[in-house]
Amino acid sequence: MSLSLSLFSLQRKNQQGVALITVMLIVALVSIIAAQMTTRLQTQMQRSTNIIFNQQAYWYALGAEAFTKRVLIKAFKDEPEVTHLEQIWAEEGSNYPVDFGEISGEISDLQSCLNLNALHPKANAKSEAADSDGGKPTSPLKPESKTPSATASKSTSGSDKQLPAATVLERLIINLNIEGIGNFEAEAMVNALTDWLDSNDMITGSGGAEDNDYASREFPYLAANSYLGSVNELRLIEHFTPAVILALTPYVCVLPQNTQHLININTLDAEKPELLQALLDSSLEDAQEVLSARDSSGYENLEDFYTLPELSKIKMAKWQKTQFVVDSQYFKLKASARFNNSYFSMSSIMKVNDTQQIQIISRTIGRN
C-alpha cells in the first residue's frame, strides 16, 4: 500500500512539472508574439511619422515653386521684353526658415545653356518651315567656319545636314579641352546623340550608334529614339564618357519635348565663355571680351549686341545671329525642403507664356 502511494505521489509531481513547463512555454510564446507586435507597431508608427514628415517637406517644396512663380511674374511685369541677371529671379540661392525646418531654392535660366533636344530631327523641320514662311531662317545646313578658331576649325564639318545646335555642341566639346577628346571624338558623340534622338535605325556618320550597338552590350537596351529627359541620359549614349559628361554638364540642359535653340546673351555665365565661343566660332579670348563688355543689365535688344566693337572682328553668319535672344521663356527651379528629419529635393521646369502666366512643364523628384 505504501509503495503504491509513493508511485502515485511521484507521478503527480511529474505531471506538475510537465504542466509548469507547458505554462512557461506558453508564457514565452506569448511574450515573443507581444514583443513582435510591439516592434511592428513601433515600426508602423515610425513609418507613418516619416511619411507625414516627408509629405510636409514635399508641400514646403511646392511652396518654393509657388513663390518662384510670383518672383518670375514680378520680374517680367516690370521688364516684359528683357531677361537679365540683375532681375530678382537671378539672385543666388536663398534659405528661408519655416516651422521645424527650412526651404531653399535656386532659379536658373534654361536659355543660358545649350538645349540638347535641339539636335532632334524635328528641329530641322522647324527650320525649313521658317525658311519657307519667310521668317528668320535657322539653316539646317552646317555652314563653313567664317572666322579662325583656336580650337574648332573646318575639320568639324560632320554631316552635310548637321543642325546648328549640333555644330555648336561639337565645337563646345572641343573647346572644353577634355583629355583624349579631339575633332573625331567630338563628331562621333554628336552623331551618336543624333541617332539616340531620331526615330529611324540609320546610323549617322562614322560615329553613330543605333539599336544593334546597344543591344550587343553585356546589359542590352535600345536607343530611345525620342527626346532626352535629362542630361544624365548621356550616360547611356555611345562615346559619352563620365569625363565628357562632367565637363559638359555646366553648359548644356534639356528642355522637355522641345527642340528650341535660342540662347539669351544677357544670361550667359561670364565665367563660362566656352559656350559663347562655340556659338560664335571664335577664340576663347574674343568670347571673354564680348562677355566682359556686357553691362550687368544686359542688352535691351539684339542690335545693341550685334554692334559691339568686340564683335567687329567676328564675322557672324546669318544662322549664327538667329541663335541669340535677349529674353527667356524657360527657367529651372532647384528646390529643397527639410522638415524635422525628413529631406525633400525637387527640380521644376517652368515656362513663361506670352500672357506672363507661369506653366509647370515638368517636375523631377530627387537631387539631379
Q: pLDDT digits over 3-55, tens only? A: 555 555 655 655 666 777 888 888 888 888 888 888 888 888 888 888 888 89
Rounded to an integer, what distance in angstroms lies between the CA atom of residue 287 and that of residue 16? 97
Lowest mean pLDDT among 42-56, 118-132, 224-238, 266-280: 118-132
Sign of the torsion angle spanned by Cα atoms 118, 114, 161, 230: negative
Q: Which grid coordinates belong to 266?
A: 544677357
Is residue 240 within 8 Å of residue 264, measured between CB atoms?
no
C-alpha pair distances (Å), 333 with each of 88, 105, 340, 362? 14, 7, 23, 11
C-alpha pair distances (Å), 27 with each of 18, 31, 40, 177, 212? 14, 6, 20, 74, 65
Give percent of the chain above pLDDT 90: 58
pLDDT at 28: 85
pLDDT 10s digits, 88-114? 999 887 888 888 889 999 999 999 999
Rounded to an integer, what distance in angstroms lies between the CA atom of residue 180 and that of residue 1? 106
pLDDT at 13: 57
Q: Work out the widest C-alpha separation in the chain, in whole angstroms.
A: 131
The four Cα atoms 325, 327, 333, 334 give a dihedral, to 10 degrees, of 50
pLDDT 10s digits, 318-362? 999 999 999 999 999 999 999 988 899 999 999 998 777 899 999
Three-state secondary structure of 241-306 = CHHHHHHHCCCEECCCCCCCCCEECCCCCCCCCHHHHHHHCCCHHHHHHHHHCCCCCCCCCHHHHH
Residue 148: how many CB atoms within 10 A of its CB?
11
- Smallest CA-to-CA distance from 172 within 246, 248, 238, 228 is with 248
pLDDT at 174: 96
Which residues touch 210 (CB under 8 Å, ≥6 apart)?
Answer: 195, 201, 202, 203, 223
pLDDT at 9: 60
Is residue 328 within 8 Å of residue 75, measured between CB atoms?
no
Sign of the torsion angle spanned by Cα atoms 254, 130, 315, 82: negative
Q: Which grid coordinates belong to 286?
A: 574674343
Rounded to an integer, what distance in angstroms lies between the CA atom of residue 56 and that of residue 81? 37
pLDDT at 16: 62
Asked whether residue 198 carries a pLDDT value surpassing 70, the answer given is: yes
Task: State phi, psi for 67 to the nearest 5 degrees.
Answer: -65, -40
Residue 260, burial from CB neighbour count under 10 angstroms (0-12, 13-18, 19+): middle
Asked whether residue 141 carries a pLDDT value surpassing 50, the answer given is: no
Rounded to an integer, what distance in angstroms lies between the CA atom of residue 316 and that of residue 323? 11
Mean pLDDT value across residues 110-122: 94
Asked whether residue 290 carries a pLDDT value surpassing 70, the answer given is: yes
Mean pLDDT value across residues 205-228: 92
Sign of the torsion angle spanned by Cα atoms 200, 202, 208, 210: positive
Asked whether residue 133 carries a pLDDT value surpassing 60, the answer given is: no
pLDDT at 236: 95
Question: pLDDT confidence of 251, banded at 50, 70, 90?
Answer: very high
Asked whether residue 162 carries a pLDDT value surpassing 80, the answer given is: no
pLDDT at 93: 74
Q: Strand 101-109 to strand 94-98: parallel, antiparallel, or no bridges (unpaired)? A: antiparallel
Q: Structural domains in the chain?
A: 2-26+47-110+330-365 (3.30.1300.30), 117-250+271-315 (1.10.40.60)
- Smallest CA-to-CA distance from 351 within 334, 335, 331 is with 331
Question: 12 by DSSP, 3-state: which?
Answer: helix
Asked whether residue 245 carries a pLDDT value surpassing 90, the answer given is: yes
